[in-house]
Structure 1
Amino acid sequence: MKLSVSLGLWQDRPPEEALDTARAAEAAGYPELWIGEMATWDAFALGTAIGAATSRISLTFGPLAVTVRDPATIAVGVASVAALTGRATGVALGTSSDVVVRGWHGRSRDRAATALAESAVAVRQLLSGEKSTVDGQVVGSRGYRLRLPAPKSPVTVAAFGPRALDVAARHADRMVVNLVSPAAAATLVRGLREAASRLGSMPPPVAAWVVAAADPGLAELEQLRRGVVGYLAAPGYADMFRAAGFGDLIDFAHTRPHPRELLAAVPVEAIAVVGLLGSRAEIAAKAAEYAEAGVDELAIVPATSDDDPGGGKTLAACRSAVVPFDA
């Protein structure tokens, strides 16, 4: 199974810790670092800083919300970092959430799957050095060509629902899923393969972002418990946790309690549903469940704390536990 690393961008940790995680990922021999974009860093600015702080790790940006960032700004950002750092780059596209798109950015998520498909076509054209020709129903780009060298970056599509699976089957070099159990991953992999079969094409490989903590202490567990709170009442995710045996927790989440009350109700076992926790043997066993589900790559999102700043201990443990390591 292939391994990569995704920055946790944890809100309870210093923002600059992202650079520590990047250095730790490279030191442990991981070939690729995912740089998401949430409440703190501009992804491309952070990517440029990481390029200066490391020497060889490749950089994949996103998933970037396609109704927030347009294809031209995405392509310019990726090409800028590639030119300034000399690194291999990739980009992941997704639809994000109502909180981010409507709340933070004041944009619409209407016809998000259409925007995802149109963005994938336009971004691929631009990153390949072509002049953009997409005049979409929701997004597009016409008549622009990169002035910087075209990085020819692969395009990853984040998918969870049926329409996004269709977009991934048609347009993606890789599909990524986030915070899913092996059982949920198996369902998504099956959906992707069915969509590709309808198109008469080969399905792209599948990566899964998974939180991880090797022999976690209380601080790491608290961080990971806090990280799942926002997913418990979300469509699809609620069904996943209910199927894993946490129906009472999901029922409570749907009563819309104060986040502190919901956090207090989240057991460690709920994190273990969607992550790699514990000893090297336990990490290896859970990774094998994802492999059995059809996942080709695990993007490790390491927990961090004062005892393990940057998550280096966890990254080293995952690197040694999950073999063979495909660099």
Structure 2
Amino acid sequence: MSILPSLAVSLGFWQDRPPAEALETARHADALGYERLWIGEMATYDAFALATRIAAGTRLALTVGPLAVAVRDPMLIARGAASVADLGGRPVDVAVGTSSPLVVSHWHGRSRERSARVLSESVRALRPLLAGEKTDFQGEAVSTRGYHLRLAAPGSSLAVAAFGPAAVRTAARYADRMVLNLLTPASAGALTAAMREEAALAGRDAPAVTAWVSAADAGDGEAVDQVRRGVVGYLAAPGYGEMFTEAGFGDLVAFARTRPHPKELLAAVPRELVGAVGLVGSDEEVRAQLAAYAAAGVDEVAVIPASVGADPGGRATLERLRRLAS
């Protein structure tokens, strides 16, 4: 039998669904016996507020993030984690990343200049703050001095979302975990191998690896369409376009880079593409995909379940994944 990664759940925050379905997904994950929930931050809930609410009603271990380091400074992240731990009565872990130009520059009006430096320095400044220490950190782009938590230190583990070489290096040198999103197993394997090389050069054990992976029942057209919409914005993006090209979808990437209307591009996305970066297919195909992630060095797959009218919150999808991974 193939070795499979452990399974966690990540909230989908699907734009075409009511925001409160995120709470349903958390309740389903808890009821079905998942142990960990990843709580990202997009256009709806504040991640720490949502984590506090979920902590009150579930037994799940929580990881908040990835949080954009250009938007939340180390002090704010440490205070937020300590607040969730104190009010929710349980430990909470933290993930950080550089996020996208849409979130950082458009929504928040912040600069993404020197984002690799900001990420690296934020992680180094954040670690002692999460341990309750008074920090005096002065980097080239990030500084914090004199603050320490009055709440009990959460002692959070620290994850770094990575895709480019600089973020992979930061994860390897300073993080407890590296987080990957929307990647084929081959790309996940390449990044994991690079991270392990960097960790060895730094003289430390390689961090664990989590991959966020969308999942949908291949027989549910609405659910598959939801996952297909989720990949449209990545097809022309630097790095992602090359990954999809290597996976055999070069014509689609070339089409995406002509900037067609989003509806035209969506209509051109085949199920095979979402199956290459997601858990969409027959039972055998999904098991094979999970095994491929494990072979690539992924320790944990955080399932992002489709949430549609026939399956709000994605319970059926989460139930199926638990069965297939058992």
Shared fold (TM-score, shorter chain, > 0.5): yes
Do residues 259 (structure 1) and 268 (structure 2) align?
no
Alpha-carbon offset, residue 124 of structure 1: 1.2
Moved more, 277-286 or 177-186: 277-286
**Unaligned segments of structure 1, at least 5 residues:** none
Alpha-carbon offset, residue 200 of structure 1: 2.1
Is the CA contact 2:217–2:224 (under 8 Å) kept in the aligned structure 1? no
Q: Secondary structure at the match of 1:245?
A: helix
Whole-Å separation in 1 of the counterparts to 2:217 and 2:255: 29
Whole-Å separation in 1 of the counterparts to 2:281 and 2:56: 33
Is the CA contact 1:280–1:318 (under 8 Å) kept in the aligned structure 2? no
Is the CA contact 1:67–1:139 (under 8 Å) kept in the aligned structure 2? no
> Which residue of structure 1 aligns with residue 21 of structure 2?
17
- Among 108, 117, 121, the residue aligned to 2:120: 117
| Off by >3 Å, runs of 4+ in structure 1 | none
> Which residue of structure 2 aligns with residue 2 of structure 1?
6
Whole-Å separation in 1 of the counterparts to 2:226 and 2:154: 36
Alpha-carbon offset, residue 215 of structure 1: 4.2
Q: Secondary structure at the match of 1:37?
A: coil
Do residues 26 (structure 1) and 30 (structure 2) align?
yes
> Which residue of structure 2 aligns with residue 45 of structure 1?
49
Alpha-carbon offset, residue 299 of structure 1: 0.6
Is the CA contact 1:28–1:316 (under 8 Å) kept in the aligned structure 2? yes
Q: Secondary structure at the match of 1:24?
A: helix
Alpha-carbon offset, residue 152 of structure 1: 0.2
Is the CA contact 1:57–1:87 (under 8 Å) kept in the aligned structure 2? no
Q: Secondary structure at the match of 1:93?
A: strand
Is the CA contact 1:175–1:205 (under 8 Å) kept in the aligned structure 2? yes
Alpha-carbon offset, residue 214 of structure 1: 3.1
Q: Secondary structure at the match of 2:248?
A: coil
> Which residue of structure 1 aligns with residue 135 of structure 2?
132
Is the CA contact 2:168–2:195 (under 8 Å) kept in the aligned structure 1? yes
The residue identity in structure 1 corresponding to 2:123 is: A
Whole-Å separation in 2 of the counterparts to 1:74 and 1:139: 13
> Which residue of structure 2 aligns with residue 306 of structure 1?
309
Do residues 319 (structure 1) and 299 (structure 2) align?
no
Is the CA contact 2:224–2:280 (under 8 Å) kept in the aligned structure 1? no
Whole-Å separation in 1 of the counterparts to 2:291 and 2:66: 25
In structure 2, relative to structure 1, the CA distance for the partners of 1:185 and 1:90 (3 Å cut) is: same
The residue identity in structure 2 corresponding to 1:68 is: V
Whole-Å separation in 1 of the counterparts to 2:62 and 2:296: 26
Is the CA contact 2:217–2:281 (under 8 Å) kept in the aligned structure 1? yes
TM-score (structure 1 length as normaliser): 0.96
> Which residue of structure 1 aligns with residue 166 of structure 2?
163
TM-score (structure 2 length as normaliser): 0.96
Is the CA contact 1:233–1:254 (under 8 Å) kept in the aligned structure 2? yes
Whole-Å separation in 1 of the counterparts to 2:282 and 2:46: 34
Once the two structures are superposed, residues 268-287 of structure 1 have per-residue CA deviations (whole angstroms, 9 ceiling, x without a partner) of: 11100101113333221110
Fraction of identical pairs, as percent: 59
> Which residue of structure 1 aligns with residue 40 of structure 2?
36
Alpha-carbon offset, residue 216 of structure 1: 4.0
Do residues 151 (structure 1) and 161 (structure 2) align?
no
Do residues 60 (structure 1) and 63 (structure 2) align?
yes
> Which residue of structure 2 aligns with residue 76 of structure 1?
79
Is the CA contact 1:206–1:295 (under 8 Å) kept in the aligned structure 2? yes
Do residues 231 (structure 1) and 234 (structure 2) align?
yes
Aligned length: 322
Moved more, 215-224 or 95-104: 215-224
Is the CA contact 2:218–2:224 (under 8 Å) kept in the aligned structure 1? no
Whole-Å separation in 2 of the counterparts to 1:280 and 1:150: 43
